[in-house]
Amino acid sequence: MTSLPKPSDSPQLGLVIDLDICVGCHACAVNCKEWNSGGHSAPMTDWNAYSGTESQDGDDVGAWGVWFNRVHTYEVNEGPQSRTVHFPRSCLHCEEPACVTVCPTGASYKREEDGIVLVNPDTCIGCKLCSWACPYGAREYDQTDGVMKKCTLCIDKIYNENLEEVDRVPACVSTCPAGARHFGDLSDPDSDVSILVSDRQGYDLLPELGYKPTNKYLPPRPRRDHLSKEQEQVSIVDMANSDGSYESNETNNPLLKWVDAVLSR
């Protein structure tokens, strides 16, 4: 049924992505592909995977295939003030997903018990309308299977009792080497992810469209040169200099400067 479940107290599972920490390594996207190649929506088909065999898919240039998770890299602002931001993008498991309501067959649905948005590959007719209705580009069509595929929030991992409890998180979260991805119940204001969102002013993507995404993004922290004097943390070099017993302190020592920089973060 493509009508949405009624609002309830059940959990809304989702991701919190920290744009301040993400280093743009694409490990989340790769491990997503790896896990889901054997998961709920398997296979994650590729076409022209090794390039150079363009006859296989007609007008193609280069390799392409189904991925649930993609990492974009943006340059914010210009010139010396510019900043590079890596931006992982996947299904946001919206509270009011238009991709579900436009589905003519009922293959797209939102689970009442945890808010995860899924596609039933046995009833999907491959009309692609859900991909048109999604503003986030979360849905990708598998032209080999003839059905739409999307992030399952690793539904076959997060509830998998054969795994250690610590591993029952989506593949993108468990693999992130920088700890930029967090998984949890965003409907519970006391959950770790909700606290993180409120502490760091996490935000919704395209809130004006009204789909109420569950996933939240944590904005990059302001640049150092934007900080006011009060916000600036006292450097250990300053502390050393202010302390009479360290008069001979080597303030030009690059190692000390580096330690200073790291500890000042």
Partner 1 sequence: MHPAFSVIFFTSASGAGYGLLTFLGLFATLDWLPLNAPFNLSVITLALVLITAGLLSSTAHLGHPERAWRALSQWRSSWLSREGVFAIITYIPASIFWLAGGFPNHIATDWEFWGLAAGLCSIITIFCTAQIYASLKTIPQWNSVFVPLVYLLIGLLDGILIITFFTILFDLFVANLSWVIIVITSLAGVVKLAYWRAADKPSGPTSATATGLSDGSESVALLDAPTTSENFVMREMGFRIARKHSLKLRKITFITLFFTPATAATVILFSQTEAIILISSLLALVAAGIGTIVERWLFFAEAKHVVTLFYGTKSL
Closest to partner 1 by CB, 56 vs 241, is: 56
Q: How far is the CB of 215 from partner 1 (least distance, A)?
A: 12
Closest to partner 1 by CB, 11 vs 24, is: 24
Closest to partner 1 by CB, 81 vs 198, is: 81
Is the separation of the CB atoms in 219 and 19 below 8 Å?
yes
Q: How far is the CB of 16 from partner 1 (least distance, A)?
A: 14
Q: How far is the CB of 259 from partner 1 (least distance, A)?
A: 31
Q: Which residues contact 239 (CB under 8 A, 6 or more apart)?
A: none
Stretch of 10-18, 93-101, 163-171, 222-230 lying at the interface with partner 1 (CB under 8 A)? 93-101
Closest to partner 1 by CB, 35 vs 67, is: 67
Is the separation of the CB atoms in 16 and 182 below 8 Å?
yes
Q: How far is the CB of 159 from partner 1 (least distance, A)?
A: 27
Q: Which 31-90 positions form the footprint of partner 1 (CB under 8 A)?
A: 51, 60-67, 70-78, 81, 84-85, 87, 89
- x/- mask, partner 1, residues 135-164, rule CB under 8 A, reads xxx--xxxx-xxxx----------------
Q: How far is the CB of 40 from partner 1 (least distance, A)?
A: 18
Q: How far is the CB of 125 from partner 1 (least distance, A)?
A: 5
Nearest C-alpha neighbor of 11 from the set 102, 82, 112, 92: 112
Q: Which residues contact 223 (CB under 8 A, 6 or more apart)?
A: 81, 83
DSSP codes joined into one string, 143-211:
TTTTEEE---TTHHHHT-TTS-GGG-S-HHHHH-TT--EEEEETT-TTSHHHHHHHHTT-B-SSGGG--
Q: Which 232-251 positions form the footprint of partner 1 (CB under 8 A)?
A: none
Closest to partner 1 by CB, 129 vs 256, is: 129
Distance (Å, whole) CA 141 – CA 121? 11
Closest to partner 1 by CB, 139 vs 157, is: 139
**The dihedral formed by the CA atoms of 183, 126, 64 and 56, expressed in degrees to the nearest 10:** 160
Q: Which 192-211 positions form the footprint of partner 1 (CB under 8 A)?
A: 203-206, 208-210
Is the separation of the CB atoms in 251 and 237 below 8 Å?
yes
Run of H or E residues at 119: strand 117-119
Task: Tell which one of 17, 22, 134, 197 touches partner 1 (CB under 8 A).
Answer: 134
Report if residue 21 touches partner 1, rule: CB under 8 A.
no
Closest to partner 1 by CB, 179 vs 219, is: 219
Number of residues that bind partner 1 (CB under 8 A): 72
Nearest C-alpha neighbor of 33 from the set 189, 145, 195, 152: 152
Residue the block writes with tokens 């993400």: 22
Report if residue 101 touches partner 1, rule: CB under 8 A.
yes
Is the separation of the CB atoms in 166 and 157 below 8 Å?
no
